[in-house]
């Protein structure tokens, strides 16, 4: 399995390969002012790698919908046209993947999760959202982590409709968390009282995934 | 007249995803976890019942880990994550894995 | 004795260029327990700050060859590991490997034939281990290798394959060049398809044990085509590589 990893600071017993540096961007330079924008252990990239846990879903816009249900007074559902009619805005954010790459100033357009949650009334014991996608992927977040501009559902990237390979028609984007929390092909959020570790959170990855605290693996 | 290489190339790249590999691509991680080779093990898909050897499962090397899917129904059969400390294997998608005793 | 599952340090004992972008690295591995044709090793490259990458490379050498194993590596334009191997590694360097790995995509003469080997680009590497093993063991099992490459100068092991086919011991090698062909070329001139497979298969028949290795698109085309030609699916084994020149 080809992948890039970095040892935690306390683990140093590893054979070092003479002359190997790897093809990575700088950790960020103080001249360009980017160093402070690159989380610990990350490297800058200008690519936008496409990696996936399964075949690319091809949901037609005629059948697409976004649903919020679970611990809400009344579930809400938007079809594609209704979703596009919601107040939308441009987001320019930095993204970090747990495999080390960080991409600065990614331009998205979509609907803030705040706007989506305005459409529902949360039950008193609502505490978490489980975002779910076509193809079966899930990821979990505390409600507090998706409010106040911290998360949005994007349908455009770089001025163009989001391609299926990058998660289109729409994907969740949570810039403050490693990119596995930004669920591609998102179709809804289920509100719960208890946390439910999602696809990768249940298999060794950190439940919260804050890249500034380097929360990569469970136990970090 | 033969089709040009370019014409066929476009058709091929649009129909099949070259980034999808197979269980052989995860063989080392699985061998380290199980203690012996797993690619020759037949496994029964818990979703559709199809039996495939692990080497034939379709491998999606998603950044956080590897997802091995049934070639018949695309259901998840195995998931593998290698962290710095451990290897995690989720085999719930396999009704069984068969290790033949030679 | 080192376990095949544990990482161990191998030493590069020789480097040989196969084509302009393909190079073979001979590795001496302490306490190497032998391998089967078709198996691979995992290679791990680690920088001083702990950053590491892992890749799998098929073993090109036959099990009969003791003393060192050969890894034939194509330098990919965006390849982090392959670029390092080609551009930096010299004889005497030490590399961390794990293996041999694999129990499915393997062949020994004891399994028998006839043998149909289908490869695209660097997918030929594990099949070459099978071909070399067949020769070294003196087997005359009927075998055909169909190898897809883009240009004649990119054909890996071309001279060696010519020599092995010239022994007329039951092995035939058939090439297809998909992008350009030299003057006087008598091989195929298009991407692999069912008609080509049928022609290559004809002398060996549908009892063939088949191994297909290369980019996913080629592997799927070949496997599906062979099944349609009547080969039982359970006698076809496949190994999908990442991008390589076909």
User: Quick one: pLDDT at residue A7?
Assistant: 53
Report the neighbours of C using a cutoff of 3 or more CB pairs below 8 angstroms: A, B
Q: Give the pLDDT mean for C221-239.
A: 97
On the question of pLDDT at C171 being above 70, the answer is yes
Task: Output the pLDDT for position B19.
Answer: 85
Q: Searching chain B, which residue's CA lies closest to the CA of residue A9?
A: B84
Query: Tell me: the pLDDT tens digits for C65-122?
Result: 999 999 999 999 888 999 999 999 999 999 999 999 999 999 999 999 999 999 999 9
Distance from CA of C174 to the nearest CA of A (A): 32
Q: Cα–Cα distance between A109 and A160 in angstroms, integer?
A: 9
Name the residue range of residue B71's domain: 19-97
Residue A4 has pLDDT above 90, yes or no: no
ipTM of the predicted structure? 0.91
Q: Is residue B59 part of a domain?
A: yes
A146, A129 in Cβ contact below 8 A?
Answer: yes
B93 within a domain of the structure (yes/no): yes
pLDDT of B85: 86
Segment A132-158 mean pLDDT:
97
- Residues C66, C133: contact at Cβ < 8 Å? no
Of the candidates B35, B40, B76, the residue with the CA atom closest to the CA atom of residue B56:
B40
CA distance C168 to chain A (A): 39
Between CA A215 and CA A180 the distance in angstroms is 12
Biggest distance spanned by C-alpha atoms of chain A: 61
Lowest mean pLDDT among A43-47, B52-56, B98-102: A43-47
The CA distance from C3 to C32, in Å, is 9
* C-alpha dist (Å) from residue C207 to C110, C131, C203, C227: 16, 18, 11, 12
d(CA B20, CA C54): 17
Give the pLDDT band of residue B72 (cuts 50, 70, 90).
very high
Residue A5: per-residue pLDDT: 56
Yes or no, beta carbons of C84 and A19 under 8 Å apart = yes
**Per-residue confidence band for A27, with pLDDT thresholds at 50, 70 and 90:** low
Q: From start to end of chain B, where are the E strands? A: 21-22, 42-45, 51-53, 58-60, 66-69, 76-82, 87-90, 94-97
Q: Answer whether A54 sits within 8 Å of B81, measured CB to CB.
A: no
Q: Name the residue among A54, A97, A205 with its Cβ closest to that of B74.
A: A54
| Domains recognised in chain A with CATH numbers | 63-213 (3.90.420.10)
Task: Give the CA count within 13 Å in the CB-facing half-sphere of C139.
Answer: 21
The pLDDT assigned to B10 comes to 35
Tell me if B2 is assigned to some domain. no
Mutate to test the interface with A, among B33, B58, B64, B76 (most CBs of A within 10 A): B64
Alpha-carbon C207 to chain mean position: 22
pLDDT confidence bin for A33, thresholds 50/70/90: low
CB-based burial, C18-41: b 16+ in 10 Å, e otherwise: bbebbbbbbbebeebeebbbbbbb
Contact B85/A219, CB-based, under 8 Å? yes
The answer to whether position B7 is within a domain reads: no
Question: Does A132 have pLDDT greater than 70?
Answer: yes
Backbone angles phi and psi of A204, in degrees to 5: 105, -15
Q: Is residue B102 part of a domain?
A: no
Angle between helices C194-201 and C216-228 (to 10 degrees): 60
Q: Which residues of B touch A167 (CB under 8 A)?
A: none
What is the average per-residue pLDDT within B15-33? 88
Is the pLDDT at A8 greater than 80? The verdict is no
Task: Provide the pLDDT confidence category of residue A155 given band limits of 50, 70 and 90.
Answer: very high
Is residue B12 in some structural domain? no
- B87 inside domain: yes
Domain total of chain B: 1
Query: Please, what are the domains in chain C?
Result: 8-101 (2.40.30.10), 109-241 (3.40.50.80)
d(CA C192, CA A111): 47
**Is B50 inside any structural domain?**
yes
Mean pLDDT of the region C13-30:
97
For C47, the closest of A1, A3, A22 (CB atoms) is A22
What part of A 89-118 touches C (C-beta under 8 Å)? 100
């Amino acid at each position: 399995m080809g992948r890039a990893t970095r040892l935690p600071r306390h683990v140093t017993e590893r054979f070092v390969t003479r002359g190997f540096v790897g093809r990575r961007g700088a950790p960020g330079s103080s001249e360009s002012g980017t160093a402070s924008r690159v989380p610990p252990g990350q490297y800058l990239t200008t690519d936008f790698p496409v990696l996936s846990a399964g075949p690319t879903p091809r949901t037609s816009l005629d059948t697409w919908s976004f649903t919020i249900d679970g611990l809400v007074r009344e579930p809400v559902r938007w079809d594609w046209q209704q979703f596009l009619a919601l107040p939308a805005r441009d987001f320019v954010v930095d993204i970090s993947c747990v495999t080390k790459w960080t991409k600065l100033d990614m331009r998205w357009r979509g609907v803030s999760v705040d706007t989506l949650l305005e459409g529902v009334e949360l039950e008193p014991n609502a505490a978490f959202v489980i975002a779910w996608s076509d193809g079966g992927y899930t990821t979990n977040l505390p409600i507090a982590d998706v409010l106040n501009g911290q998360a949005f559902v994007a349908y455009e990237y770089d001025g163009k409709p989001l391609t299926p390979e990058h998660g289109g028609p729409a994907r969740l984007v949570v810039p403050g968390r490693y990119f596995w929390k930004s669920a591609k092909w998102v179709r809804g959020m289920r509100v719960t009282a208890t946390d439910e570790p999602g696809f990768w959170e249940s298999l060794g990855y950190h439940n919260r995934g804050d890249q500034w605290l380097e929360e990569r693996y469970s136990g970090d | 007249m033969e089709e040009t290489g370019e014409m066929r190339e476009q058709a091929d790249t649009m129909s099949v995803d070259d980034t999808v590999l197979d269980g052989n691509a995860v063989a080392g991680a699985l061998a380290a976890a199980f203690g012996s080779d797993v690619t020759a093990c037949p496994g029964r898909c818990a979703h559709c019942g199809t039996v495939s050897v692990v080497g034939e499962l379709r491998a999606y090397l998603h950044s956080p880990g590897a997802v091995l899917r049934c070639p018949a129904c695309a259901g998840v059969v195995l998931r593998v994550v290698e962290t710095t400390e451990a290897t995690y294997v989720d085999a719930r998608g396999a009704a069984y894995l068969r290790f033949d005793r030679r | 004795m080192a376990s095949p599952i544990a990482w161990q340090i191998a030493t590069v004992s020789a480097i040989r260029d196969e084509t302009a972008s393909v190079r073979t690295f001979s590795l001496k591995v302490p306490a190497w327990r032998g391998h089967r044709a078709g198996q691979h090793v995992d290679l791990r490259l680690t920088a001083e700050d702990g950053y590491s990458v892992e890749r799998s490379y098929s073993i090109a050498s036959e099990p009969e060859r003791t003393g060192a194993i050969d890894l034939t590596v194509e330098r990919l334009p965006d390849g982090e590991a392959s670029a390092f191997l080609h551009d930096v590694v010299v004889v005497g360097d030490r590399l961390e490997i794990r293996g041999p790995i694999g129990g499915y995509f393997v062949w020994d003469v004891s399994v028998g034939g006839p043998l149909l080997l289908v490869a695209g680009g660097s997918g030929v590497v594990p099949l070459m281990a099978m071909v070399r093993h067949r020769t070294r063991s003196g087997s005359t099992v009927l075998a055909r290798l169909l190898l897809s490459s883009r240009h004649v100068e990119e054909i890996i092991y071309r001279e060696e394959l010519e020599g092995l086919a010239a022994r007329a011991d039951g092995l035939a090698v058939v090439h297809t060049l998909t992008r350009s062909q030299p003057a006087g070329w008598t091989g195929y001139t298009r991407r692999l398809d069912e008609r080509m497979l049928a022609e290559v298969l004809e002398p060996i028949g549908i009892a063939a044990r088949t191994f297909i290795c290369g980019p996913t698109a080629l592997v799927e085309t070949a496997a599906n085509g062979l099944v349609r030609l009547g080969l039982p699916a359970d006698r076809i084994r496949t190994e999908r590589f990442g991008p390589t020149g076909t």
